[in-house]
A and B are shown apart, each in its own frame.
Chain A
Amino acid sequence: MKILVPIKRVVDYNIQVHPTADGKAVDISGLKMSPNPFDENAIEEAIRLKEAGTASEVVMVSFGTESNHDVLRHGLAMGADRAILVKTDKTLGSLGIAKLLKALIEKEAPNLVLMGKQSVDDDAGQAPQMLAGLLGWAQGTFVSQLTIENQTAHVVREVDGGTESLSLKLPAVISADLRLNAPRFVKLPNLMMAKKKPIESIEAETLLPLKDLKVKTIAVEYPASRGPAKILNSVDELINALKNEAGVL
């Protein structure tokens, strides 16, 4: 079984981001970039399936410029077999990514696509479901447990108020929740070895003519600020404030 794992390069989740001076975009210049955390869960799960003998090959793909080599190397060091960089400097949006992935999947023919449930920059949470829809494949979203048996994937999904178990016919697209696993740390020797693993480059336009985004960002701002808290001195004061000032008790 071959597994394809898409990986996105995002601003490290510990870093506070700011709008650009003109207030029209997010200023990411000079910020530390990392693999999208949920994508690391997807890579980890794919590698575990390979280690268990369920999968035979783990292929990673990232969309962007050559700077994405760092996140691909990270995945290779975790244990992926090879990586593909689909080169474009355009902003693609979830639908654009899903369409390019579909085109790539027609060439690579994986049995399973494992990807993060959302990226921590746009927080859209759409690409896996969109890809599954375009391919007409089964989808398992927000997955916290995965087992593969013959041609079926059994998943436990994190849903509002609990969990849900589904069985999915393969091929399928599965999106990883943080609870799926704890991604392994990359050791330096593995990182050195990963430098020998191949990263293939494909021009995005050779897969698919790219269209302009239909959804445009016209402003980026800080959220309306709240707080700092009015510091009270006693529980009585708090109850009084909640009852008579805020009206929520």
Chain B
Amino acid sequence: MSILILADHNGHSLKISTRQAVTAAKLLGDETHLLLVGANLDELIEEARQLSGVSKVLVADAPHLIHAVAEDIAPLITCTAASYRTIFGGHSSFTRDVLPRVAAMTDVSMISDVIEILDYRTFKRPIYAGNLVSTVQSDDPIQVLTIRGSRYKPSELNPANTADVERIEVPAQGLQLATWQSETKQSSDRPELANARIVISGGRSLGSQEKFQATLGPLAEKLNAAIGASRAAVDAGYAPNDAQVGQTGTQVAPDLYIAFGISGSIQHTAGIKDSKVIVAVNLDPDAPIFQIADYGLVADLFDVIPQLTNAV
């Protein structure tokens, strides 16, 4: 049975969550199609057709789709939905925006944030901010999902894999229900928080915005890590909103997560639980973060961070 993946990309390359989705698709069916929506997609088409595991690349390429919105993307998917058993994407703000609309227009339920695939219609997903895990089974004819990618290795480019390319019909103009105006990106000589291999985060004990940057910055530079922050540090103004790690901020799943001076509220730990290795550095030996970390140092972060920065 065929699987359709809605690709998330930045106009030039596929997001890692999409490449992870391609790997996950192998557990769901035997033929994987990837849908690209945007404008001037030639570069992306070349990348997509070499992705190991993709057998067909569907392309909706039109000038008015350059900043395509959910209102215009959803109908492109629903008109071919019936030929697929599963329609899904990685768990990203893009897929979480578009796919529920697709599901409703197809009159099927949706299962968000799958963390484990048991079979093509049975999945595990976190509920209550990751404090519980529920196993759900769907009787719908089409499964619409987002899959949290951190458990799946990103599919690799294989020049020998040359998937077919099929251009799908696109209306001459958008519905104009919603119109893209502008965007702001977090300054990014650093990896994106959601996709970084290493994330280092600071709490309120960093003391000020200046100290937050001056202390964590050099270590992040050395490790090529993204910098995150606890809700308390964000609320205190030490770090920008989009640096907040946790259930109500960004959920991360890096290979290595280091929490400096973060006590470990439920909402914070829910957002880091899928990390491969968690390190906690905290002066308080009773901080809850030590209960979910793999390694702990009961020490002053202002001593530890310079030592670490010099040593790595």
Q: Which residues of A contact B (CB under 8 A)?
A: 11, 13, 16-19, 26, 93-95, 98, 120-134, 136-142, 144, 154, 157-169, 172, 178-179, 213-223, 226-232, 234-236, 238-239, 241-242, 246, 248-249
B182 surroundings in chain A (CB, below 8 A): 164-165
Q: Can you list 26 A-B pairs, Cβ within 8 angstroms, ordered by A?
A: A16-B266, A17-B128, A123-B113, A129-B97, A130-B103, A133-B74, A138-B177, A159-B94, A160-B93, A162-B242, A164-B180, A166-B180, A215-B140, A217-B136, A218-B122, A220-B132, A221-B132, A227-B278, A227-B294, A229-B292, A229-B294, A231-B296, A238-B279, A238-B297, A239-B312, A246-B277
Interface SS, A side: mixed
Which partner residue on chain A sits nearest B130 by CB separation? Answer: A223
CB of B101 within 8 A of CB of A139, answer: yes
> In the complex, A131 Cα to B304 Cα: how many Å?
50
CB of A133 within 8 A of CB of B308, answer: no
Q: A133-B102, A223-B133 are in contact. List 15 more A-B contacts (CB 8 A).
A: A16-B266, A17-B128, A138-B177, A159-B94, A160-B192, A165-B180, A178-B248, A215-B139, A217-B134, A220-B127, A223-B130, A226-B273, A231-B298, A241-B295, A246-B295
Would A94 and B109 be within 8 Å (CB), given that A122-B127, A130-B103, A161-B193 are in contact? yes
Q: How far is the CB of B182 from chain A (nearest CB, A)?
A: 5
Residue from A18, A157, A158, A164 whose CB has the most chain B CB atoms within 10 Å: A164
B34 surroundings in chain A (CB, below 8 A): none
A228 surroundings in chain B (CB, below 8 A): 290-293
B70 surroundings in chain A (CB, below 8 A): 129, 132, 139, 141
CB of B276 within 8 A of CB of A220, answer: no
Q: How far is the CB of A35 from chain B (nearest CB, A)?
A: 16
Within 8 A of A (CB), among B173-204: 176-186, 188, 192-194, 198
> In the complex, A120 Cα to B255 Cα: how many Å?
27
A138 surroundings in chain B (CB, below 8 A): 71, 177-178
Would A229 and B296 be within 8 Å (CB), given that A218-B137, A235-B308 are in contact? yes
Would A215 and B111 be within 8 Å (CB), given that A123-B129, A168-B177, A231-B298 are in contact? yes
CB of B290 within 8 A of CB of A129, answer: no
B266 surroundings in chain A (CB, below 8 A): 16
CB of B294 within 8 A of CB of A226, answer: yes
CB of A160 within 8 A of CB of B194, answer: yes
B180 surroundings in chain A (CB, below 8 A): 164-166
Give the contacting residue for A132; candidates B101, B136, B296; CB below 8 A.
B101
What 1/0 flags go to B240-269 for Cβ under 8 Å of A?
011000001010000110000000001100
Give the contacting residue for B184; candidates A98, A136, A162, A166; CB below 8 A.
A162
Q: In the A-B complex, list the 3 residue pairs whose CB atoms are closest, starting with the nearest.
A: A229-B296, A130-B104, A129-B100
Would A121 and B256 be within 8 Å (CB), given that A164-B183, A228-B291 are in contact? no
Q: How far is the CB of A9 from chain B (nearest CB, A)?
A: 15
> In the complex, A232 Cα to B290 Cα: how many Å?
12
B185 surroundings in chain A (CB, below 8 A): 161-162
Interface SS, B side: mixed
Would A226 and B105 be within 8 Å (CB), given that A129-B100, A235-B307, A239-B312 are in contact? no
> In the complex, A230 Cα to B140 Cα: how many Å?
45
Q: How far is the CB of B265 from chain A (nearest CB, A)?
A: 10
Within 8 A of A (CB), among B83-128: 92-94, 96-105, 107-113, 122, 126-128
CB of B103 within 8 A of CB of A168, answer: no
Would A238 and B136 be within 8 Å (CB), given that A95-B109, A132-B101, A223-B126 are in contact? no
Give the contacting residue for A95; candidates B97, B103, B128, B135; CB below 8 A.
B103
CB of B242 within 8 A of CB of A217, answer: no
CB of B242 within 8 A of CB of A223, answer: no
CB of B104 within 8 A of CB of A133, answer: yes
> In the complex, A214 Cα to B298 Cα: how many Å?
49
Q: How far is the CB of B136 from chain A (nearest CB, A)?
A: 5
Within 8 A of A (CB), among B137-164: 137-140
> In the complex, A158 Cα to B240 Cα: how many Å?
13
CB of A223 within 8 A of CB of B131, answer: yes
CB of A139 within 8 A of CB of B126, answer: no
Which partner residue on chain B sits nearest A178 by CB separation? Answer: B248
B132 surroundings in chain A (CB, below 8 A): 17-19, 26, 220-223
A238 surroundings in chain B (CB, below 8 A): 279, 295, 297, 308
B241 surroundings in chain A (CB, below 8 A): 144, 158, 179
> In the complex, A136 Cα to B185 Cα: how many Å?
30
> In the complex, A172 Cα to B312 Cα: how many Å?
51
> B232 at the A/B interface (Cβ < 8 Å)?
no
B138 surroundings in chain A (CB, below 8 A): 214-216
Would A249 and B256 be within 8 Å (CB), given that A134-B104, A214-B140, A230-B296 are in contact? yes
B291 surroundings in chain A (CB, below 8 A): 227-229
A168 surroundings in chain B (CB, below 8 A): 177-179
